[in-house]
Amino acid sequence: FSGLDYLHNGCKPPIMHRDLKPSNILLDDNMHAKIADFGLSRTFANDVDSHISTRPAGTFGYADPEFMRTGNTNIKNDVYSFGIVLFVLITGRQAIVREGDESIHILEWAIPIIEEGDIQNIVDPKLQGEFSINSAWKAIEIAMSCTSPNAVVRPDAHQILAELKECLSLDMVQRNCGNTRAIDELVSCATISDTTS
């Protein structure tokens, strides 16, 4: 995730990616994630709260609904998209979930399950229950905060990076106890580095 932090806080002027999704996060030989495809990216004049109006862009399911509705954009739109990427990694499902003949957004599918406290039915079944429950709940909390309908209350990139590291340490504690294996996708998210390194 440090790649997105770099775009938002390290670049002058800051850069908003505007199309963050799993296919735009590439893994190198060492499983370090790199952000790719800057075709829709835009720069801001200066501060993080700047808003610019632009034609809606991005991938359906990952794009911030507020941005798609109003065309007003800020870096918290990327935070929303990252939250959806986290949900995709946690659940093993696509951003648009097929339920019979209907398609629903992953948040519409996940939120009722989260509200029931049913961690086993939210985490990717391919993990076969082998994950740290505390780490999974922390990852879900991060994803939920990133996808808040109110962009103002979404965390910034520094906060998300710190919380992902906490999530990773919860998993490491569990692994050191010998009870589970790591959720590799979350480890990768915690180590995203900028594309120029």
User: Does the annotation count 19 as an active-site position?
Assistant: yes
In terms of Cα–Cα distance, which of 58, 21, 23, 53 is closest to 39? 58
Q: Which two tokens stand for residue 29?
A: 């030989």
Bridge partners of 193, per DSSP, are 34
Dihedral over Cα of 174, 141, 146, 154: its sign: negative
Which of 5, 19, 64, 78 is catalytic? The answer is 19
CA dist., res. 192 & res. 8, Å (int): 14
What are the distances in angstroms from CA 153 to CA 80, 115, 135, 163, 193?
11, 20, 22, 15, 25
CA dist., res. 91 & res. 50, Å (int): 33
DSSP 3-state helix, strand, coil percentages of the chain (rounded to 5)? 50, 10, 40
CA dist., res. 34 & res. 1, Å (int): 9
Catalytic residue positions, numbered: 19
